[in-house]
Amino acid sequence: MKTIGLIGGMSWESSVSYYQIINEEIKLRLGGLHSAKCILYSVDFEEIEVLQRNQEWNKAGDILSEAARSLELAGANFIIICTNTMHKVAEQIQSNTDIPLLHIADVTAEKVLGEGIETIGLLGTQYTMEQDFYKSRLEAKDIKVLIPERDDREIVNKVIYQELCLGTINPDSRKEFKRIIKGLIQQGAEGVILGCTEIGLLVRNEDTSVPLFDTTNIHAKGAVDYALASSDPSNP
């Protein structure tokens, strides 16, 4: 079993889910008293969020690169970033380490394609929805990506930062997300990616008529696949 290096804390709410899913999956697959070999480096999200807001991505990337190097020195065999948005600096992190980084958009794309879906809705922070660092990896695999209208993107972003990242689950926000998802379906979405690791705390598959792709669950289980593989994937 390979040792998983987790860069977490963005927010710690979803990092808890990563740790739980990874260990539950290891137990399910291996049985007995097995648990995951993993090392967690949890950053201070306040510091990262300020850099996001100020568009100082290189500085944020430096912080996460240092976290990745620490995980590598501690014995991690590969890295996962326990958040969607900070995959914006994934290439910067990868260039500063000698171990692979398992990209959340890549394992999510594999899951979407495995369901035979060609057009997908994407919810996440405004950075994830509006910028290309995430969508381009999906589009490179011939997946058409739809995002909400501007006002709805602002609602999604506000709920993520002002509620979900603080552990607040608001029924009114759930209603708004269900409305926004319905709008994406009306545009032609055959499924919806929950492209923020906290959104799965708010909406579930039973809340909509199309499949929801919870990136926390997909990424965590993808990390287990990687950790238990007899050899590393050629293109992580």
Q: What is the pTM of this model?
A: 0.88
pLDDT value for 230:
72
Q: Any catalytic annotation for residue 82?
A: no
Every domain of the chain and the residues it spans? 4-103+217-228, 105-214
- Tens digit of each residue's pLDDT (9 = 90 or more) over 149-167: 999 999 999 999 999 988 8
**235 phi and psi, to 5 degrees?**
-140, 80
- Tens digit of each residue's pLDDT (9 = 90 or more) over 95-144: 999 999 999 999 999 999 999 999 999 999 999 999 999 999 999 999 99
- Tens digit of each residue's pLDDT (9 = 90 or more) over 210-230: 999 999 999 999 999 999 997
* Encoded amino acid at 186, one letter: Q
Indicate if the pLDDT at residue 196 is higher than 60. Answer: yes
**158 phi and psi, to 5 degrees?**
-65, -45
pLDDT value for 234:
40
- Tabulate helix, strand, coil % of the chain (nearest 5): 55, 10, 30
Which CATH topology does 4-103+217-228 take?
A: Rossmann fold (3.40.50)
Q: Which of 82, 83, 97, 165 is catalytic?
A: 83
As a whole number of angstroms, the distance between CA 206 and CA 203 comes to 8
Q: Which of 38, 85, 196, 197 is catalytic?
A: 196
Q: What's domain 105-214's architecture?
A: 3-Layer(aba) Sandwich (3.40)
As a whole number of angstroms, the distance between CA 46 and CA 98 comes to 28
Q: Does 105-214 match 4-103+217-228 at the fold level? A: yes
As a whole number of angstroms, the distance between CA 105 and CA 109 comes to 6
pLDDT value for 13:
86
